[in-house]
Chain A
Amino acid sequence: MTSCTQILVRLLYPRPYLDRWGEDLYDAARSEGWRSWPNLVASAVAIWLQPAIWPPRHRGQRTARASAMVLAVAGCGWFIANLLTEDADADPGLRQVLRGCAAALLVGCGLVTPLPHPNRTALVAVVRRSTRYFAVPVVLVATVVVTVHGSVLPRIPPVPIRLAVVSLWWIGWLLAVGAGSRVLANLGPDTVIAPSRRRAGAGGVVLAAVAVITGAVLLIFSFSGARFDPFAAICGALTLVFGGAGTAALCELPSLADD
């Protein structure tokens, strides 16, 4: 019979970690009973924040996972910053900083992205996997573009429809951030050439800087309006925390084996 502890272990920890340590961890946690649960949660958070220590399937995967994590953090920070400042009377200076962050994000992505092997098979595999991951966000964003620019809606649509279209637009971009990270973390060495540690490190520094600047911008934004915006403040603080964790993961890379 599946116990609560077993469900907790399965739900909390990433798959590669469970493949290596899951059964032993479950046995130990089961013998401690419910008293092990708080420690399991705290430990799982720490494990998720250090993807570089998950057991790798191939060389270069630790670097790829750490890069994917920083990319996800920077991408989410950029996403939330744009979401919050889109309709508000944000400071033009802040908008300028965010545009700079978006450009730096692209540079960072370029540095950490592995390149496909120069052959047809590898290229087809990369395109196929990217198509699978990016299909949903691309369809969502394209649907919004066609809906808005294709005269599908009346000139001034009702509020619920406007909200639905805007939500679809931002959900599409959020899913695109997640898809980019998953593609980056899961491409194998038979398909792509992993970035060198130096290149990945430089990309990681750029992406971590984007995460930190975006988090700081969100915090400034939360205090700069007429009223304090707690949602922006929480998002900014979380982006700073996760940006720090991503930077720590990248700094830890040189001390890790098998990569």
Chain B
Amino acid sequence: MLANDAQVLVLCALAEGPLHGYAINAAIEQLVGERLAAGSLYGALARLEAKGLIEAVDGVGRQRPVRLTPQGAALLERELRAMAEVSRTGLRRLGVSPA
């Protein structure tokens, strides 16, 4: 499992391709309705890069976009499958049919 939600959100934001910090936060806002605070966002990026789950790509100007590594993509898939399973089980126990 990943350390926290911020890291999962960043990986989700990067699932469609490389993004820089501002665009990652915009994608997260689109996904969950609110942005990560600056310290939390760059803390998560530093941890993910240290774990080899994301990597920098050559960018235009000062900002360097990052993208998922193959390990990052594999881990995100595992995390999302596990979350989907938890969600399915929880909804079933509540007697609610998944949409």
Contact = CB atoms under 8 A, between A and B. Distances in A.
B51 A24 contact: no
Interface residues of B, number: 20
Contact of B49 (A23, A55, A255): A55
Given A24-B63, A39-B37, A46 B50 contact: no
Interface string B49-87: 111100000000011000000000000000000000000
Nearest to A52: B50
State the majority secondary structure of interface residues on A.
Answer: helix
A256 B62 contact: no
Nearest to B52: A257
B46 A42 contact: no
Given A32-B37, A36-B37, A25 B52 contact: no
A255 B72 CA distance: 12
B82 to A, nearest CB: 18
Q: Which of A28, A36, A255 has the most B CB atoms < 10 Å from its CB?
A: A28
A53 B47 contact: yes
Given A40-B39, A43-B40, A28 B21 contact: yes
A231 interface: no
Contacts of A10: none
Contacts of A36: 37-39
A255 B42 CA distance: 19
B20 A29 contact: no
Contact of A39 (B21, B38, B62, B63): B38
A174 to B, nearest CB: 30
B46 A39 contact: no
Contacts of A20: 46
B11 interface: no
A39 B39 contact: yes
Contact of A28 (B42, B51, B52): B42
A253 to B, nearest CB: 10
A21 interface: yes
Interface string B12-55: 00000000111001000000000001111111011101111000
Interface in A13-56: 17, 20-21, 23-25, 27-29, 32, 36, 39-44, 46-47, 50, 52-55
A89 interface: no
Contact of B51 (A40, A54, A55, A255): A255
Interface of A: 17, 20-21, 23-25, 27-29, 32, 36, 39-44, 46-47, 50, 52-55, 62, 255-258
Given A24-B20, A53-B50, 9 more contacts: A24-B42, A28-B21, A28-B38, A29-B39, A39-B40, A40-B39, A42-B39, A54-B46, A55-B49
5 closest pairs, A vs B, by CB? A43-B39, A257-B52, A39-B37, A28-B38, A53-B50
17 contacts: A17-B46, A20-B46, A21-B45, A24-B63, A25-B39, A29-B39, A36-B39, A39-B37, A39-B38, A40-B38, A43-B40, A47-B43, A47-B46, A52-B50, A53-B50, A55-B49, A256-B51
